[in-house]
């Protein structure tokens, strides 16, 4: 139980286990030498707050991938909800009610994905592709394609620059979400059942695990985390922007896969997904500092996922042998 997942020790497995750690260290070392602005406290602080959105989504994506599903709608939903929260405040709804509103909405959207996937027996990538189209469309329709500025200073400060016990609030939310997810996955019956579902869904069903209910719950939790991600994103940008997070979905999937998750379910780790998310965040940050064309990030990330996926499959074969 102390181990998060099975460990077998083929070469590919070793490389894969090391990838998030070594990759992160290598990137940090490289950027520290390559840029004068990288290795300092202020940049790290910025990195931490900037990556909060990604980390929250990656945590949710870990659960989704663990049960062998996928959510392609998260980026679009974050954009939509940041628009909604901005508009809610613009309409005079107090910030706390606005936040509550989008949290409810996001859980509903997540649960919708889950119900259609599980009850409708439709592959989740199709369902969430549909949700993605709807959310993207809705975000642009609501705003007329213009960003909605947020004027509420309490909201802007609280979820971006304010600190509690010296810790910036976004970081605090991330820490809470991380600890919560970790506990949930490792130390609750629900979490252990998710491993069972992802490993062998039929065996789990025959052992009396409520497979459908658990899967829907996973999508709803994903929604909850996406809701908080939207709050942080809106606060950081100071507005609700309909096209704000084009790469978020892919970044989150990349983070989870780099973190060693199996695309066929049953294998995923909260800690390693966090490392994966940090790796992506450092990459984003460092490339900006080095004035590398932002767009080549896509290629780099694509190749990194490719590497992680190939390693994962080779490692799986090593186990099978």
User: What sign results for the dihedral spanned by CA atoms 250, 253, 257, 259?
Assistant: positive
Residue among 49 and 73 whose Cβ is closer to another protein: 73
Closest CB 6 distance from another protein, rounded Å:
4
Q: Are 75 and 245 in contact (CB under 8 A)?
A: yes
| Nearest residue to 160 via CA among 249, 95, 256 | 95
How many angstroms separate the CA atoms of 208 and 293, rounded? Answer: 52
How many angstroms separate the CA atoms of 108 and 113, rounded? Answer: 9
Closest CB 109 distance from another protein, rounded Å:
12
Q: Which residue has the tokens 């800690």?
A: 271
Closest CB 203 distance from another protein, rounded Å:
6
Element (H, E) at 301: helix 296-320
Residue among 196 and 278 whose Cβ is closer to another protein: 196
Closest CB 197 distance from another protein, rounded Å:
9
Residue among 29 and 306 whose Cβ is closer to another protein: 306
Residue among 10 and 130 whose Cβ is closer to another protein: 130
Closest CB 184 distance from another protein, rounded Å:
8
Closest CB 3 distance from another protein, rounded Å:
6
Residue among 116 and 234 whose Cβ is closer to another protein: 116
| Nearest residue to 171 via CA among 281, 48, 46, 255 | 48
Closest CB 34 distance from another protein, rounded Å:
19
Residue among 154 and 207 whose Cβ is closer to another protein: 207
Residue among 4 and 162 whose Cβ is closer to another protein: 4
Q: Are 181 and 278 in contact (CB under 8 A)?
A: no
How many angstroms separate the CA atoms of 296 and 300, rounded? Answer: 6
> Residue 298 in 3-state DSSP?
helix
Residue among 70 and 177 whose Cβ is closer to another protein: 70
153's CB contacts (< 8 A; 6+ apart) are none
Closest CB 206 distance from another protein, rounded Å:
6
For the residues of 10-53, what is the DSSP string, one character each?
-HHHHHHHHHHHHHHHHHHHHHHHH-TTTSSHHHHHHHHHHTHH
């Amino acid at each position: 139980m102390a181990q998060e997942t099975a460990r077998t020790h083929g070469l590919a497995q070793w490389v894969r286990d090391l990838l998030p750690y070594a990759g992160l260290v290598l990137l940090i070392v490289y950027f520290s030498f390559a840029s004068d602005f990288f290795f300092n406290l202020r940049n790290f602080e910025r990195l931490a707050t900037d990556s909060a959105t990604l980390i929250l989504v990656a945590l949710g994506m870990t659960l989704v991938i663990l049960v062998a599903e996928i959510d392609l709608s998260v980026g679009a939903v974050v954009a939509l909800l940041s628009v909604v929260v901005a508009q809610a405040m613009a309409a005079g709804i107090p910030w706390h009610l606005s936040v509550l509103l989008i949290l409810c909405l996001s859980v509903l959207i997540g649960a919708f994905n889950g119900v259609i996937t599980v009850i409708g027996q439709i592959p989740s990538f199709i369902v969430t592709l549909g949700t993605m189209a709807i959310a993207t469309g809705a975000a642009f329709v609501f705003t007329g394609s213009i960003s909605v500025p947020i004027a509420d200073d309490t909201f802007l400060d609280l979820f971006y620059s304010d600190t509690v016990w010296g810790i910036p609030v976004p970081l605090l939310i991330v820490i809470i979400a991380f600890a919560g997810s970790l506990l949930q996955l490792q130390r609750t019956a629900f979490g252990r059942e998710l491993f069972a579902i992802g490993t062998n869904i039929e065996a789990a069903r025959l052992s009396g695990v409520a497979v459908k209910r658990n899967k829907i719950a996973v999508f709803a939790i994903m929604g909850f985390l996406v809701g908080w991600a939207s709050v942080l994103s809106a606060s950081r940008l100071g507005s609700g922007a309909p096209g704000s997070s084009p790469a978020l979905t892919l970044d989150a999937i990349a983070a989870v896969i780099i973190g060693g998750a199996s695309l066929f379910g049953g294998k995923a780790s909260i800690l390693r997904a966090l490392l994966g998310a940090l790796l992506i965040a450092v990459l984003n940050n460092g490339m900006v500092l080095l004035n590398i064309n932002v767009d080549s990030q896509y290629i780099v990330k694509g190749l990194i996922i490719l590497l992680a996926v190939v390693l994962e499959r080779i490692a799986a074969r090593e186990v099978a042998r």
